Structure 1
Amino acid sequence: MRTKRLRPGEKGVGASMGPIGWPEMVVIFVVALVLFGPKKLPELGRNLGKALTQFRQASNDLRSTWEREMQNIEEDTRPLRETARGIDREIRASVEPSYDYGYPSYSEPEPAAPPAAPAEPATPEVRSPEGAVARTAGEPEVLKAETGAGNGTDPGRPSATV
């Protein structure tokens, strides 16, 4: 994101000093005054200004060199990209079928598969309570063995051997 470069004395978004506010600037100035003294402070300010100016120039030179090289690369690769787009169009045209809507198709349709035969409905086995009683009435030994009746165990619990 680029900000508008402000002239001295202009106010705006670009005039902010980032996370450093005026109270912090006053503290930094007082500490610099105590450390370097009033005689060296103007010289230190000039040197700091020169260093910041050189840093900005180097940063701008790097940015302009980067942008120029990116433009050169884009110009060099433009013919290759156009060739690749042309090949892509040719491939897509050969793979995708072309349809002429409104005209009959000249190819014969594939024969349809015969319909599957309908399945017969399953008939559920009907169990009645009378049939269950009649079936178990004639087989008392099987009933005792299944339920555990007659051996002194609870029908709900498995028998344990000791």
Structure 2
Amino acid sequence: MPNIGATGFILIILVALLLFGPSKLPELGRAFGRTLREFKNGAKEILEDDSDRKEVQKADTARLDTGKPEYRTAENAPTAQPAAAAQTAPSSDKRLPE
């Protein structure tokens, strides 16, 4: 990546001043600053999502290694089934008389 010194930076500002004029230069600076801020926030969100995903994978791997269930939220917890629903009716091969 090229290293821009003080003279290069001043030269870039002078060229921008000549191209856009003194009234448009502050607006362009603000727009450029907003763009950089949004890019930075977007990159931070992607990195946070990636780190969260890695933590979940580690927790799942640890759960699989121990064989014990790990519930992170109430939505993932098992629900109690009624006793009637847990038992199935015995199957029979007997036919009813016609």
Q: Scaled by the length of structure 1, what TM-score is found?
A: 0.38
List alignment gaps of at least 5 residues for structure 2. Answer: 68-98
For residues 51 and 61 of structure 2, what CA distance do their matches in structure 1 show?
15
For 2:56 and 2:48, how far apart are their aligned partners in 1?
A: 12
Secondary structure of 2:4's match?
coil
What is the total number of aligned residue pairs between the two structures?
66
Structure-2 change in CA distance of 1:31 and 1:76 (3 Å) = same
Measured after TM superposition, the shift of residue 77 of structure 1 is: 1.0
Q: Aligned to 2:34, which of 30, 50, 56?
A: 50
Which residue type is aligned with residue 32 of structure 1? A
Give how far 1:80 is off.
2.6
The answer as to 2:62 corresponding to 1:78 is yes
State which structure, 1 or 2, has the greater radius of gyration over its C-alpha atoms: 1
Separation in structure 2 between the aligned mates of residue 41 and residue 67 of structure 1, nearest angstrom: 39
Runs of 4+ aligned structure 1 residues displaced above 3 Å come to none
Q: Percent identity?
A: 35
How far apart in 2 are the matches of 1:38 and 1:78?
A: 61
TM-score (norm 2): 0.61
Aligned pair partner of 2:14 in 30, 48, 55: 30
SS in 1 for 2:21: helix
Displacement of 1:82: 4.7
- The CA deviation string for residues 125-162 of structure 1, in whole angstroms up to 9 with x for no partner, is xxxxxxxxxxxxxxxxxxxxxxxxxxxxxxxxxxxxxx
- Give unmatched runs, 5+ long, in structure 1: 1-17, 84-162
